[in-house]
Structure 1
Amino acid sequence: MADPSPAVRRLADWDTDRLESLADEYDTPLYVIDLDRVKANYRRFSAAFPDARVMYAAKAHTGRAVLEAVLEAGGTIECAAWGELKRSIDAGAGPNTLQYTAVNPPAHDLDYATDLGAENPGLTVTIGATDTLERLAERGYDGRIAIRINPGIGTGHHEKVATGADAKFGIPYEEVPEVAERVRAEFDLVGLHAHAGSGVLTDGLAEHCRAISRVGEMARRVGDLEFVDVGGGYGVPYREDEPPLDLERTAEMVRDAVGEIDAQLKLEPGRYVVADAGLILSTVNTIKEAPDTTVVGIDASLATLIRPAMFGSYHPMVNVTAPERDHHPVTVGGPVCTSADVFAHDRPVARLERGDTLAIGMAGSYGYELASQFHSQPRPAEVALEAGEDRIVRRRESLEDVTRVEQ
């Protein structure tokens, strides 16, 4: 049966009355994650690649409820750190199904992965440096290895996520065949991996697929592989006038770019699965008329959502309390003492008054993951929506939580 859910869930599609009641019941700032939408997004993406193995990239949102939803939808999980491995297992993932992509891994990461692999030989470790091979061998690991390729082509919504052209990530392209021989002599070489960048929409697919084609080419050179993993990076439209990713066209272009390979295709969507499933609710506390703008102060900050400060990212906004009011351009900022703590400049929003609830959309991916206690602010609570019900899945931190680890 066809998936009835829309290709993208806009902020305007959320029930504002329900959001207002959530803000009243659970206080703000508040993260809201719709688990039904998470499952629908994962299934839609998987349906576009019926012959591939689709692994959710945990780093987009590692909340246990989200990981459990992905597993319920039939997914497996790709992890980039030891904490993600543990959280995935705690959520019910079989350790033998996990893939750990090591990027300059600290010692404790490799210790944990080595111990896990000793008891679960199906665990796959992806390496992006020959140093990692040496460090794994020192720990007695001789199991499944995938080689991360640096294709020399970066794509995505911002230079800070264009990993395919960043020397930090992966083995230089022409060195891969030699490294593959070394891996086969000491480990079990099972795959090749690459990730070109993040937040790719339909108009960026051509360059994205140019990077993927290099992975397919290298797979044919290396030969005898179990899988070829072309990573994730598939985006969602944050702006209201941007069209959603054309999944059918994406699947066709990716398959054509990879070409004929005698191996299973793997993909790692993260943002696509969770971005439009999450938002932030915040309360307006200050209205200030300045010479060039109206400043709206809210109780969310860059400690709540750092993407606008870090990437200059656009996040849609809706006045949940009174969406029917006339729209006026405002500058929306938080309580952190830096000019970077601004969510929008001159953004038309239904007129805001002190005490109103403001929703900030497309916050499901890299939102709570990048939240911090900057300014000694406790991190917010998170509420999950599922099957018409809501529940707390992450409690609000207290001031005591902020200082609990100090001594």
Structure 2
Amino acid sequence: MSSISSPRPFVYAGSRLECSGADLSELAAQFGTPLYVYSGDAIAERARMLQQEFAGVLHTICYAVKANSSLAVMRMLGELGCGFDIVSGGELERVRRAAPEALGRVVFSGVGKQAWEMDAALDAGILLFNVESEAELEVLAERAQALGKIARIALRVNPDVFAETHPYISTGLREHKFGIAIERAREVYQRAVRMQGIEPAGVSVHIGSQIRSVEPFAEAVRRVRSLVEDLRGDGMDIRYVDAGGGFGIEYGKAEFDPAARVAEYARALREVLDGLNAHLLLEPGRFLVAQAGALLTRVLYTKQNGKKHFVITDAAMNDLIRPALYQAHHEIVPVVKDERAVQVADIVGPVCESGDFFARDRETQELRQGDLVVLLDAGAYGMSLASHYNTRVRPAEVLVEQGRARLIRRRETLDDLLAAELI
């Protein structure tokens, strides 16, 4: 049987699972399933945890919007003083609507920025463009000159630091599409400083996601520090160091103390940057929201195929694709604990793909038709990766704060899904 560990806000009150004091059975009855449920209290706690550990350093927490782009979550983080790390013009528009006061705390990353996205970001007065190629730099200079603006930039450098994580979310090696080789960066900066409309102001690095060791972060930032010192020696006013995100969590049953891990992470970065007198930018996403969220789903059917037992839920890979995409592990627990036998089953969805599974050969309490279960740690890259595959509507979302739940995204209808199509 799975157990809930302390970093998660999903805990049993007697035999019934709650999220920050809200009964999940009641949420299912009120809002239906599948349903994403987030603890605003847990998200705020993680944000404050980072802010407190870096309190002695000039810093800004720039939440990685791609992890969970809910407007309500973004508004809450903006009110806590966070900035935002965006990777598209659409995400910029989300910042404008959710936290317009934070537009000056936005960093714009991504390898394929389009001219219209650059224009929108320049008009918004964002803090920094994280430039990922020389070709992008040229287009950004053209757009800044056309609009009569100055684009503050950091080159995203590729430090060739290995981080042990899934290959799909590793970004810090030479063979990856991201960034500019750190060996060439000084030359590119010297070119950038001569461009009209461009102001070199920082150096950026991001080596991947779901990294659970601090050493790769420290090594990457150590290489960035050396570059900053060289650039300052060349006469450039480099005042921002963007250390990226990627700080990992535990998705399984292993012990995980987020406060201790943040303290270790902060200590390592502070030591590397000591005396540099730079404004540190951090881009956490998963760490802030993953364990604060879960996908609530109902068992539709159970079946036996030979020796294999299947539990079929009303949630599917279009609602949470991480297991199919990354072979990701999510703990799966019942909303109501009973004294039932233990079973081993594949827990799957209704989508017409063999890859539509949440777990294979997973041990749980016996699950029956009509039971509610939750997939834990689904607050990051769950709803933001959801799709309409098989013409399925996406789930509703609920935010729980101090025991009170409110709807932050209504369940889609088929009319919503088909509205953009023409016959």
- Report the TM-score range of the alignment, normalised by the length of the smaller protein: over 0.9
1:37 Cα deviation (Å)? 1.1
1:281 Cα deviation (Å)? 0.6
Deviations 1:254-274 (A, max 9, x none): 223445423122211111100
1:66 Cα deviation (Å)? 0.5
1:12 Cα deviation (Å)? 4.3
CA distance change for structure 1 residues 54 and 234 in 2, over 3 Å: closer, same or farther? same
1:277 Cα deviation (Å)? 0.8
Greater than 4 Å deviation, 4+ residue runs? 10-15
Deviations 1:269-295 (A, max 9, x none): 111100011101111011012223210
CA distance change for structure 1 residues 155 and 323 in 2, over 3 Å: closer, same or farther? farther
* Structural mapping, 1:17-166, within 5 Å: 18-50=23-55, 51=57, 52-94=59-101, 95-116=103-124, 120=125, 123-139=127-143, 140=145, 141-165=149-173, 166=175
The answer as to whether partners of 2:301 and 2:313 remain within 8 angstroms in 1 is: yes
Deviations 1:12-51 (A, max 9, x none): 4686160111111111000111111111111012211111
* Structural mapping, 1:183-222, within 5 Å: 183-186=192-195, 187-201=198-212, 204-222=213-231
2:271 — aligned with what? 256
* Structural mapping, 1:394-405, within 5 Å: 394-405=409-420
CA distance change for structure 1 residues 9 and 323 in 2, over 3 Å: closer, same or farther? farther
CA distance change for structure 1 residues 323 and 244 in 2, over 3 Å: closer, same or farther? farther
The answer as to whether partners of 2:62 and 2:105 remain within 8 angstroms in 1 is: no
Q: For 2:282 and 2:38, how far apart are their aligned partners in 1? A: 23
2:353 — aligned with what? 338
1:228 — aligned with what? 241
Q: Does 1:304 align with 2:303?
A: no
The answer as to whether partners of 1:154 and 1:211 remain within 8 angstroms in 2 is: no
The TM-score with structure 1 as length reference comes to 0.92
Q: Which amino acid aligns with 1:188?
A: E
Q: Which amino acid aligns with 1:274?
A: V
1:369 — aligned with what? 384
1:305 Cα deviation (Å)? 0.3
Q: For 1:359 and 1:228, how far apart are their aligned partners in 2? A: 39
Q: Which amino acid aligns with 1:128?
A: E
1:211 Cα deviation (Å)? 2.2
Q: For 2:11 and 2:307, how far apart are their aligned partners in 1? A: 28
Q: For 1:358 and 1:136, how far apart are their aligned partners in 2? A: 48
1:127 Cα deviation (Å)? 0.4
The TM-score with structure 2 as length reference comes to 0.89
Say which is worse superposed, 91-100 or 300-309, in terms of deviation.
91-100
Q: For 1:219 and 1:242, how far apart are their aligned partners in 2? A: 37
Q: For 1:65 and 1:172, how far apart are their aligned partners in 2? A: 37
- In the comparison of the two structures, how many residue pairs are matched? 396
RMSD: 1.8
Deviations 1:38-96 (A, max 9, x none): 11111012211111322211111110110011112221212111111111121123322
1:3 — aligned with what? none
Q: Which amino acid aligns with 1:16?
A: L
Q: For 1:296 and 1:386, how far apart are their aligned partners in 2? A: 32
